[in-house]
Amino acid sequence: MNVGRPKDLEKRQRILESAKSLFLKQGYHGSSMNEIARDAGVTKLTVYNHFQDKATLFTCAIEDTCEALIMARPPQLCADSNFQQALAQLCALSLEIVYLPEAIKLEYLLLDLASQQSPLLQQFYQASHQKLNQVWQHFFQQAIALDFIPNRPLEQLIQLMLSLLLGQRHHEILLGIRPIPTAEEQQQLIQSSIQLFLQVISE
């Protein structure tokens, strides 16, 4: 089947949109391929023509959701860049993405799979967090190449920055015992996180 035809691509996108909506609303196990097909206005066979199985569809739905969330691109660094300003912009983008309703729902969905010790969890986690991770990886690669920061392992830099930005606070937000920070609070958080980040990596 030629999935490149406009009609096929349109059906595939309808299936993905229905899958995203139902998965985020009902969870992975609570959504069936029949429901997704019905919601998308296609046959179950059409769904399977585009996606091999439910796990494949779910992974694609997660990737599509994350791709849509990361619409803005982080600043491209050059020798004349204001590094701290660029870092603050990327921190703001990350918090904006993390606190979107779709992102919060996705975290709950992954936690539900974790509680069931689902063998699919690792696959879905990679699909959901890889996009933002790649953005940070590219940013820090540029920063190291331009000597804005010391040459440290990229994973170490990413974990440190995201831990400072999210940390225990994000866990409490997911539990519903702390509200999502306001725009002013996010700016204060970003500035304090950057100061600590730069202090730690310079030691």
pLDDT at 74: 64
CATH number of the domain that residue 111 is part of: 1.10.357.10
Tell me: do 125 and 189 sit in the same domain: yes
Structural domain range at position 39? 6-66
Query: Residue 66 corresponds to which amino acid?
Result: C
Give pLDDT tens digits for 120-175. 777 777 777 777 888 899 999 999 999 999 999 999 999 999 999 999 999 999 88
CB 24 within 8 A of CB 106: yes
**Residue ranges in the chain modelled with pLDDT below 50:** 1-4
Which phi and psi angles does 134 have, rounded to 5°?
Answer: -65, -35
Where a domain ends, among 66, 95, 115?
Answer: 66
* Same domain (yes/no): 83, 156: yes
Q: What is the pTM of this model?
A: 0.75
Same domain? 129 vs 89: yes
Domain total of the chain: 2
Nearest to 106 by CA among 24, 172, 32: 24
